Structure 1
């Protein structure tokens, strides 16, 4: 059992929690909590750290039987399983009230060609049209995590982010995804312009949520592939990026507001396009 706060492994875990450059250098990330552990792919889990209280409950079979079975499965595949003192658990945790388990996992890796061309192929083989979320310089970890979670609910094919967007492996982002991190493909791109060009090559129209929009988001027919571009919480989309969009659209506003929270705006846009596709499919099915 690890009890020392100066233990080298403890220092490494703290660095993984606090520093994106360490996470990227190691190709790893730390996550905590029972739900996040339950949903994490076993093949990606490398280390598991259990607080003494939870470890005792697991060993006695008091609760969380599925957790104990998964810990055992991870151990069989070679994952390190270590007990830590409650003091150490608080040190390595990013939350005020740790749930008793923290683990280290391998980061995910996707390519723009894999995401975009894969979505196009599924469409050509009878699937629904591609749906993407493009994010430019989103800074709030909670916003990013919420958008990933919302994307999963709307059936997004991928979330593509500029390098200026907050680290998706930030502990607050991870918690906000509620497990969607494991299931929604995502990537950072050095050039949103090149990504937009690739989307257009694959018949995906790019819509920019913009104050200069001439049509409201619910006045557009999302018949084919769609990608929604959402900008920084304070500055919005850069003009040079917005200029690459096929169309500007806007969200109706009452009062003195100019814009909504970025995550809320993304949810409205994604569900509008997703709902249009579902409605069209229902019409086709009824006609058949």
Structure 2
């Protein structure tokens, strides 16, 4: 494999890749970083095309598949400037951000949609995407106030699931609500102040499970749009559950109800 050696922070390609650690740089260039051999191979297996592959000077890790991109070799010190991990594996891919739209979603009967509203913690977002993919949800919709999907911490937390499930990001609340209503999808909003427990609600039909901000919960728009507001029992003195835990409980109760029909 041929390498292009980069030895300076002033190299324009290095400077471009460095900007992708920040949301502004990702937005301006439409690119994002995929760090680590496992994530890279998952991305490639799901059709993600790399613009660049960056390796440090000592790595022996390379994806098994043939790559149609330029491979950049840099020093360990330069690599640490790009890496977002404590113990880098020495390999980072640079890829174009997929930009699917609601119009492109193909819905099977009784889809399960996961809607995230104002989720701010990258680990929570990545974990919920991973859970949604494991449950074969039809899609994940990211609405107002949610952390950037292409934040490196989000990508890592998905453990590759970000490449396995349709994710529509950057949606306005009203846009998402209108789309759900036009497709006759029942909107169920998780709300700690709701009166109904989740296990008393039918989750077998076309359902959108809405998980709100970790501290404030769902926005007033989503509460108003809800066909039902549901809660998870909290019997101890804890004020609330972690957003990703709450999402997992609700997503898998939908799966339990649906599998009991089989």
1:1-288 paired onto structure 2 within 5 Å = 1-17=5-21, 19-41=22-44, 43-54=48-59, 57=60, 67-70=62-65, 73-74=66-67, 77=68, 79-115=69-105, 118-119=106-107, 122-123=108-109, 129-280=110-261, 282=262
Q: Give deviations 1:202-229, integer Å, cap 9, x for gaps.
A: 2210101112322211122222111111
Q: What is the count of residue pairs matched by the alignment?
A: 256
SS at match of 2:208: strand
Q: Confirm or deny: 8 A CA contact 1:44 1:106 kept in the other structure.
A: yes
Distance in 2, Cα, partners of 1:218 & 1:99: 43
Q: Give deviations 1:83-137, integer Å, cap 9, x for gaps.
A: 111111111111121101011001111111222xx11xx22xxxxx201111111
SS at match of 2:140: strand
Q: 1:13/1:200 Cα in 2 relative to 1: closer, same or farther (>3 Å)?
A: same
Distance in 2, Cα, partners of 1:254 & 1:214: 15
Q: Runs of 5+ in structure 2 lacking a partner?
A: none
Q: Confirm or deny: 8 A CA contact 2:31 2:96 kept in the other structure.
A: yes
SS at match of 1:134: strand
Q: Confirm or deny: 8 A CA contact 1:90 1:96 kept in the other structure.
A: no
Q: Give deviations 1:127-157, integer Å, cap 9, x for gaps.
A: xx20111111111111111111011011111
SS at match of 1:193: helix
Tell me the CA shift for residue 278 of structure 1. 1.5
Structure 2 equivalent of residue 285 of structure 1: none
SS at match of 1:4: coil
**Greater share of residues in helix:** 1
Q: Runs of 5+ in structure 1 lacking a partner?
A: 58-63, 124-128, 283-288
Distance in 2, Cα, partners of 1:212 & 1:237: 11
Superposed CA RMSD: 1.6
Tell me the CA shift for residue 159 of structure 1. 1.0
Tell me the CA shift for residue 30 of structure 1. 1.1
Larger radius of gyration: 1
